[in-house]
Amino acid sequence: MSGVIRARRRLGAAAAYVRSAPGTYLWLLVLFVTTVALHHMPPQFEEDFLRQRSTNLNELSSNPVRVFITSAMWTDGGRWLPYAVLYTVFHAPAERWLGTARWLAVCVAAHVLATLAGEGALLVAIRDGTAPRSAAGTLDIGVSYALAGVVAVLVYRIAAPWRYAYLAVVLCVYTVPLMAAPTFTDFGHFVALMIGFACRPLTVGRGKPWNPKETPAALRS
């Protein structure tokens, strides 16, 4: 009987956590539905279907608003579970801390501005002849720019000195690929990271930074 009670409590706690970050889990639900749809799509249509919802230069020049929205509703590679983990680890805490409106502002800013920066750099490369003209139709979907922005803004959620360790890891994750074998996507991720850091004003008044050292004591009380 006690096991059943504990299971119900855990289920209730999980449900309460989901309700506390509605934007995160609604977005995750959309990604689940679109991922399932993608797996049921004939392979010969999949690439063209996604390209029309991609923030590549061709689509941005004709349907910018539409592709900014639709590109954030599909997963790159058709895998959903890794995103469920990443959204729970990063997006949900950020939304609970900032509130849905501010969290969404970070996501939109990182997604839109990093996309424009990356595609702008690609356009310059095409005009300079260092990238082929066919690159204008490159598939570019996914939610990684918004994720990078949220990962960055969470640095202000953590108290020093833990903040600096987190910052070092984040910078390493996003700058090593950029320096090793840079792509326009890597450049976009780095820009999204900088945008997340620049969103510090949105964190003002959102409570004192979280100190991991104080967590065990808080849980015991």
Domain ranges of the chain: 22-220
Contacts (Cβ under 8 Å, ≥6 apart) of 117: 187, 188, 191
Range 22-220 has CATH code 1.20.1540.10: yes
Distance CA 119, CA 184 (A): 7
Residue 181's pLDDT is what? 84
- In angstroms, rounded to a whole number, what is the distance separating the alpha carbons of residues 53 and 156? 33
Contact criterion met (CB below 8 Å) for 138 and 118:
no
What phi and psi values does residue 210 have, to the nearest 5 degrees?
-75, 130
Residues forming a β-bridge with 210: 158
pLDDT digits (tens, 9 = 90+) for 3-46: 666 777 777 777 888 888 999 999 999 999 999 998 888 877 88
* Residue-level length of the chain: 221
pLDDT at 135: 87
pLDDT at 68: 95
The pLDDT value recorded for residue 221 is 31
Q: Give Cβ neighbours of residue 198 (< 8 Å, ≥ 6 apart).
A: none
Taking the model in full, what pTM does it have? 0.89
What are the Cα distances from residue 37, in Å, to 63, 73, 74, 115, 128?
23, 12, 10, 25, 39
- Closest to 209 in 3D by CA, of 157, 167, 150, 161: 157
pLDDT value of position 219: 35
Residues 179 and 119: their CA atoms lie apart, in Å, by: 19
Q: What is the pLDDT along the chain (221 residues), one digit of tens a residue?
A: 566 667 777 777 778 888 889 999 999 999 999 999 988 888 778 888 888 889 999 999 988 999 999 999 998 777 899 999 999 999 999 999 999 999 999 999 999 999 999 999 999 999 998 888 888 888 888 899 999 999 999 999 999 899 999 999 999 999 998 898 888 899 999 999 999 999 999 999 988 888 887 754 433 33
